[in-house]
Structure 1
């Protein structure tokens, strides 16, 4: 099955640098002997959920672009493309938030040549963070990248942000969702939990789920069913619930399973899922972007050892 969508990461006190060839602070030194980048072209497009691109740099760019549309054609260089965008994240809310931003590097016609994902953690209320996201190496045969756009923004309370790496949360467990798989309308996203503490961590049964809309308000009318087999067989989320004790360093997995079938009625998309690993555990909010169509059903697997 093919990857269906990108994912969220861990809370921290400062800007976290993202996946792949990802993000670096905007003022980071490129080091002695590095090529001098082309002038940055300002971008004045409006922000997307508090995130905006402030400039885009393309090496060997042709004459200055329109401020609202981004730079024009650029020649790709061997190795690192030298293409990057500076961005700002502004939190105008009342609590610290962790943002995950998906950037798309596109051609003049809007064709996406590649994506980069950045996580900006613990942005305090009323504050702004700046950084940059690099394209890195462009795939052989790709068309020239001329623009960078914000494709998706996810934001969750910093206290509920998933934690795949970094310091161990006070709960003693890290919880996150993977990128998931999709094929023929079937979706499967894995939930993962690591005991990063110093004592045993016990699980028993299914994670508790709350489905949230883009404003992180409850979504009603969706049946949450136990076991992936309630949606489809062979998803790996079919094991019966059983007590499970994780030693420090051990991991467990569960899974979210759904179909995106659309028939009569209104399609439902659920961007956020608040997960409680066991009764009394601190909630963690992941962003699987459940495209549930009109099915009204979501399956969740029991916690099992990660090596099963």
Structure 2
């Protein structure tokens, strides 16, 4: 014999299921600020691309955002099955963007996109590199969040956080690509501790001929407009900025055979005292005098120190 309680539960389950279906429908709409808000319920639950009218950041702008509707979260019950996202499942969150080069030479853009909550907390980020955008041209693409981090809050915005752009002919090569020079020069993400900053440089002979080195890389410091930055002393060795770092090891001639690599580095402190702080977003690097330049983006926050130390090329340990 069925009890009244079991009859009520049997009737409640279909009703809750229907509620889940109804509330799962809908999409996110994005206003002029790029913030998402719940839709009217007429869209598919997977979300649809909604136009964004935010102004461009250094030639890069988001044109539309797709943020699926929130998964319903009914009050926990022993009689209701919850549709929680599967671990590692794609979030479905994406943004379409366009890059427009208003300059007079081809540029390669590297864009940092941030996926944030409505309050601005960053839940994920992604770098996109758009290579060789011709003058006056516009290139389009899509950036995706992918699987959200466990325990992360709901994403409500996608923003252009930072844009760097370098002459296409001077851009670091794509991973696995050997440039025509046969020499691949790259910079790492750097390390910071107690105001001391270090960025590593790596030079790989990916060509077919030996490559001789003798001394220090040649540097040009550049501002946001890729114009020279003045008033900074470039020092061979540590210059007393910090000891025990290997920057004072003497320069020695060496020859990189195909497949071999050498390392160097930049070191500075970001101390700010009297005067105007100096930031250097771009550094044009030549492996040696007469070598083809490569422009990297270490974002040197030199403070008011006015000094940048350079380490001599040394053979990378195999």
Query: Which TM class, normalised by the smaller chain length?
Result: 0.7 to 0.9
- Deviation (angstroms), 1:237: 3.2
The normalised TM-score by structure 1 is: 0.81
The equivalent residue for 2:162 is 152
Contact 1:177/1:191, CA 8 A, preserved across alignment: yes
Given the alignment of the two structures, is residue 40 of structure 1 paired with residue 80 of structure 2, yes or no? Answer: no
Tell me whether 1:196 sits opposite 2:224 in the alignment.
no
Aligned to 1:69: none
Residue 118, structure 1, aligned to residue 128, structure 2: yes
Aligned Cα RMSD in Å?
1.9
For 1:124 and 1:61, the matched residues in 2 are separated by 40
Shift of 1:230: 3.1
Which structure exhibits the higher relative contact order, with contacts defined as CA atoms closer than 8 Å and separated by 6 or more residues?
1
The answer to whether the aligner puts 1:247 opposite 2:257 as a matched pair is yes
Give how far 1:144 is off: 1.1
Deviation digits for residues 3-45 of structure 1 (CA, Å, limit 9, x no counterpart): xxxxxxxxxxxxxxxxxxxxxxxxxxxxxxxx98410121110
* 3-state SS in 2 of match to 1:299: strand
1:183 paired with 2:183, answer no
Residue 109 of structure 1, CA deviation: 0.7
Partner of 2:312, secondary structure, is coil
Q: CA–CA distance in 2 between the matches of 1:234 and 1:164?
A: 33
Q: Which residue number in structure 2 is paired with residue 136 of structure 1? A: 146
The yes-or-no answer on 1:294 pairing with 2:290 is: no
- Structure 1 unmatched ranges of 5 or more: 1-34, 63-74
CA distance in 2, matches of 1:46, 1:216: 23
Residues 36, 226 of structure 1: alpha-carbon distance in 2 compared, 3 angstrom cutoff: farther
How far residue 61 of structure 1 moved from its aligned partner, in angstroms, is 5.0
Q: Which runs of 4+ in 1 moved over 6 A?
A: none
| Whole-angstrom distance in 1 between the partners of 2:270 and 2:52 | 36
Q: Per-residue CA shift, 1:210-254, capped at 9, x if unaligned? A: 000000101000011112363112334332111111111111110
Q: Which has the higher helix share?
A: 2
Q: Is the 8 A contact 2:92 2:145 kept in 1?
A: yes
Structure 2 length normalisation: TM-score? 0.78
Give the 5 Å matches for 1:63-74: none
Are 1:174 and 2:197 matched, yes or no?
no
Residue 143 of structure 1: CA displacement? 1.4
- Residue 58 of structure 1 aligns with which residue? 67
Secondary structure class of the residue paired with 1:159: helix
| 1:118 Cα deviation after fit | 0.7
Task: Confirm or deny: 8 A CA contact 1:59 1:76 kept in the other structure.
Answer: no
Max Rg structure: 2
